[in-house]
Structure 1
Amino acid sequence: MENPAIMEMTAPRLSNFGNMGFWPDRTVFHEAATLGRALQVEQLIEGGASVNMVTVDNITPLHDACIQGHPNCARLPLDAGAQVDMRTIHGSTPLCNSCAAGSLECAKMLLEHGAKVNPSLTALTASPLHRLMIEHGALLEAFDLQFGTPLHAACAKEHVDCARVLLKAGAKVNAAKFHETALHHAARVEMVDMIELLVDFGSNVYVTDNDNKKPIDYTKPGSPTEQCNNIFHLCFSIPINRVALRTLLGTRALEVVGQLDISQLTISYIL
């Protein structure tokens, strides 16, 4: 028989968690999972609360635990039979939420419980992709209408480390979303590190987007990316692949390039 006290605690109630959302039927179970209260989550489950109860947005306590990166709270509903690939009305699974939160522990746990690494994507769904997902065969070029490829998403969200992982795993640096490349994103959000990373991996500085703009057109004087204008101008004026040149020269690169009769800026770019 279900515990009346537990039933009262899990009944629909109003709750506002700031940027975590506002749902008129959010329950104490959702709240406990969001705040990382593992003991309370355990008590609720033992008292008969459904591990698959949903809000009007089809969000389960498992979604909440994962988006906040609380593995202890995620483990409890999973062990109690929670649906691992339940989707919200926007198409996000708990695995999507874990990756968005950067929670490797939650992601591993979900995979161990059979979560799909390549769920079919909807227009509003981002692919759950990071190091662990790549190791489990996630699609590097998974595409959605909101973000484009995972590399586009990493640039839009300003995650340089994620972009580096994707590129090293073989993601296409010049993949386009409506003619817009990741380099356009990086230039627009004024990320010097991201621009340099993409150029290092062979990003095409000549490509234009739907507004007929090259990445360089999104940099402006006085911005953090002003120094990147030198990189862009150098790419336009010297059509060489510095990685190929350094590979050709091998260990002699530092010595040979340093002796060339070219500007220090060019030497710095090649090296």
Structure 2
Amino acid sequence: MESPGGSGSLRGDISFWADRTPVHEAARRGEILQLQQLIESGACVNAVTYDSITPLHEASLRGQTQCVKLLLDAGAQVDARNIDGSTPLCDACASGSIECVRVLLSHGAKVNPPLYTASPLHEACMSGSPECVQLLIEVGANLEAHDCHFGTPLHVACAREHLDCAKLLLQAGANVNAAKLHETALHHAAKVRNVDLVELLVEFGGNIYARDNRGKKPSDYTWSSSPTAKCFEFYESTAVNRICQEFLFSVSFLGISRVEF
């Protein structure tokens, strides 16, 4: 078998090599002229390494927009998967490169590839790129995509303390009380002790009494007397007062003059 960079390879062929090819290296480094020369000489743009990484993965992960364009125009497979199942769009979102994301989407990249791992939206939330998150939402990203390790994109945004990303997801209709092993985004916000996240999640209906698989409420993950703990104390006391008021109103409405506890 000839080298992936040799003239005997077809640009659209799939090859399997343990090491990165010159095309991989040029794409990774953003060497546009070198990449163009390799393509023109017949190098395979879909050559894969032992972990199934293509040159398009390399360029996308490093935000090399011009290289991404060159590879796609030369026949690179836009939804190729690496050994982890990630597509170039996942990698572009991980890099936070909105330009690469736009190029990949314009070439037909699936915003909701059938993955069992992190989706492009997960990756955008992980990298903390509100621009990528907004664009993915606009083109129909699944807000409730579930990853066995991370949960939903909202879980990821809160675990990484990316407030802007979390707000965009919630405004788009993400389920604030979606659970991963009964753990909600509010549990994550409590664990990282982020008051702004806690307030945002409660504003959108986060359940302060939700219990995870250990039977713990979000407030159980805060330090006593910390700003986050005080925040939860306020919401819990407010909730109790509201319940009492509703109960007393019901009693009054029914005409009951005396209530014994």
Please give the range of the TM-score, normalised by the shorter of the 2 chains. Answer: 0.7 to 0.9
Whether 2:141 is the aligned partner of 1:138: answer yes
Off by >3 Å, runs of 4+ in structure 1: 4-8
| AA matched with 2:144 | E
Q: Which residue of 2 aligns with 1:217?
A: 220
Q: Which residue of 2 aligns with 1:127?
A: 119
Q: Check the 8 A contact 1:25/1:55 in 2, yes or no.
A: yes
Partner secondary structure for residue 239 of structure 2: coil
Cα offset for 1:30?
Answer: 1.6
Within 5 Å, give how 1:68-217 maps onto structure 2: 68-122=62-116, 125-129=117-121, 130-217=133-220
Assess, with a 3 A threshold, how the Cα gap between structure 1 residues 24 and 196 changes in structure 2: closer, same or farther.
farther
Cα offset for 1:156?
Answer: 2.4
Q: 1: CA distance between counterparts of 2:77 and 2:4? A: 25
Cα offset for 1:111?
Answer: 1.0
Q: Report which of the two structures shows the higher radius of gyration computed on alpha carbons.
A: 2
Match of 1:45 among 27, 39, 43: 39
**Identity across the alignment (%):** 60
Q: Which residue of 1 aligns with 2:128?
A: none
Cα offset for 1:32?
Answer: 2.0
Assess, with a 3 A threshold, how the Cα gap between structure 1 residues 234 and 113 changes in structure 2: closer, same or farther.
same
Assess, with a 3 A threshold, how the Cα gap between structure 1 residues 152 and 5 changes in structure 2: closer, same or farther.
closer
Deviations 1:92-141 (A, max 9, x none): 0011111122111111111111111111121xx21212211111111111
The number of aligned residues is 222
* Structure 2: segments with no counterpart, 5+ residues: 10-16, 122-132, 243-261
Q: 1: CA distance between counterparts of 2:32 and 2:159? A: 33
Q: 1: CA distance between counterparts of 2:68 and 2:219? A: 44
Cα offset for 1:161?
Answer: 1.6
Higher relative contact order (CA 8 A, sep 6+): 2
Q: Normalising by structure 1, what TM-score?
A: 0.75
Deviations 1:231-271 (A, max 9, x none): 100111111899xxxxxxxxxxxxxxxxxxxxxxxxxxxxx
Partner secondary structure for residue 155 of structure 2: helix
Coordinate RMSD, CA, aligned:
2.5
* Structure 1: segments with no counterpart, 5+ residues: 11-22, 243-271
Assess, with a 3 A threshold, how the Cα gap between structure 1 residues 36 and 197 changes in structure 2: closer, same or farther.
farther
Q: Check the 8 A contact 2:90/2:119 in 1, yes or no.
A: yes
Q: Which residue of 2 aligns with 1:256?
A: none
Q: 1: CA distance between counterparts of 2:4 and 2:85? A: 33
Q: Check the 8 A contact 1:202/1:241 in 2, yes or no.
A: no
Partner secondary structure for residue 24 of structure 2: helix
Q: Which residue of 2 aligns with 1:234?
A: 234
Partner secondary structure for residue 120 of structure 2: coil
Assess, with a 3 A threshold, how the Cα gap between structure 1 residues 56 and 145 changes in structure 2: closer, same or farther.
same
Q: Check the 8 A contact 2:24/2:54 in 1, yes or no.
A: yes
Q: Which residue of 2 aligns with 1:250?
A: none
Q: 2: CA distance between counterparts of 1:48 and 1:65? A: 19
Assess, with a 3 A threshold, how the Cα gap between structure 1 residues 221 and 24 changes in structure 2: closer, same or farther.
farther
